[in-house]
Amino acid sequence: MNSKVQSLKDFLGQAGWAALVEVAATKGSTPRETGAFMLVSASAIYGTIGGGQLEYMAIDKARQMLGSLRPAPLGEFADVAAAPHPPAGTFSPYSDGEKGDSRNAGDPLSPSLRGEGKGEGLRDAGKMFATLDVPLGPEIGQCCGGRVEVLIRPVDGALEQELIAKAEVEEAHLPHVYLFGGGHVGQALASALALLPIHAVVVETRAEALEGMPETVETRLTPMPEAVVRDAPAGAAFAILTHDHALDFLIVAEALKRGDAAYVGMIGSKTKKATFKNWFLKSADGSEAEFNRLVSPIGGNAVKDKRPPVIAALAAAEIMTALVSHATEATASSTPEKAMAD
């Protein structure tokens, strides 16, 4: 499994000099929230601040900054190995001819560059920064109506470690989605889930069904998939679509008996759901309340299309909605006001 943290490390390791482009402040309607960021190198991009002309302007400004980080004499540092990132050499920030953008800051087509650092060598690169204050109006081809302030900084060693540490914390707290079954729909759903800010796990009893899964999705081969349900963290989502209806029933029963699941969904027809209900209530010691938490068929029935990619798209949206709703309810129930009311 190639985690999103590893993807970030790979980008930073291969980018050479990179700039952090971060949404520092917002007002009104904007494409992304405060704190959203992207990384820009001379030839690649990691992440997004919302796309559109705003992002193009930020990328252009970031690359202007990177272009001004010109090589400096190696003799500037007595111990080159102790120099900040990148360790292969030493650099200096803006050249004397690069004073920043002196155009009218009030002109939305000419965002301002403020506070650019002037240092002596790479040791001061971390002090360099630029800000773009951009109204999102028709002048730049975006009609959001809000305003965004973007902070742009070169990534030195300290900032690189800060970004990685933050990503590790975020990844550790991602909601878990367990997908049982690696058939046609399972493969399509795994590909859809791989794009989302979640930790996706595909569980199978057949080794060949796990081949070709997206590299950011965890895979587990086990003869007892229902046991995985018991070990899942609170707030997890479970999508059950194996090749065996009896196995589906066992897994769904385990998931429904967990009162802390954000979502329990099973692929199938009305007949399959009715058969499961009869078995669940009579043979699995299930209750009506538990059964009523089951989502089946997954993805709903508003769109009458049984092609795997279509089912996967609908199910992924359904699962993400359930995760967000569950997280919102959990946050609300943990507030001091709620605790006092209880």
Which residue type, as a one-letter code, is found at position 78? A
DSSP-derived secondary structure for 147-188: EEEEEEEE--HHHHHHHHHHHHHHHHTPPEEEEE--SHHHHH
On average, the pLDDT of the chain sits at 83
Q: Residue 209: CB partners within 8 Å, gap ≥ 6?
A: 181, 182, 183, 186, 243
> Per DSSP, which regions of 182-326 are E strands?
199-204, 218-221, 237-240, 263-266, 294-295
Q: Which residue has the higher pLDDT, 238 or 104?
A: 238
What's the pLDDT score for residue 97?
Answer: 28
pLDDT at 3 (0 to 100)? 82
Average pLDDT over residues 288-299: 96
Residues of the chain within CATH 3.40.50.720 domain(s) are: 174-329
* DSSP 3-state of 315: helix
pTM of the model: 0.77
State pLDDT tens for residues 91-113.
223 322 233 332 333 333 333 33
Give me the mean pLDDT over the 104-132 stretch: 48
Residue 199 pLDDT > 80, yes or no? Answer: yes
Which one is predicted more confidently, 174 or 85?
174
Whether the predicted pLDDT of 75 surpasses 80: no
**Structural contact between residues 187 and 213, judged by C-beta atoms closer than 8 angstroms:** yes
Average of pLDDT values for 219-246? 96
pLDDT tens digits for 243-252? 999 999 999 9
Q: Are 158 and 20 in contact (CB under 8 A)?
A: no
Residue that wins the pLDDT comparison between 330 and 235: 235
Asked if 56 and 39 touch (Cβ cutoff 8 Å), the reply is no
> pLDDT tier at 135 (50, 70, 90 boundaries)?
confident
Residue with tokens 């209530």: 281
Q: Which CATH architecture has domain 174-329?
A: 3-Layer(aba) Sandwich (3.40)
pLDDT of residue 335: 62
**Phi/psi of residue 325, each to 5°?**
-60, -45
pLDDT tens-digit profile of 136-182? 877 777 777 788 999 999 999 999 999 999 999 999 999 999 999 99
Give the confidence band of 125 by pLDDT, cuts at 50, 70, 90: low
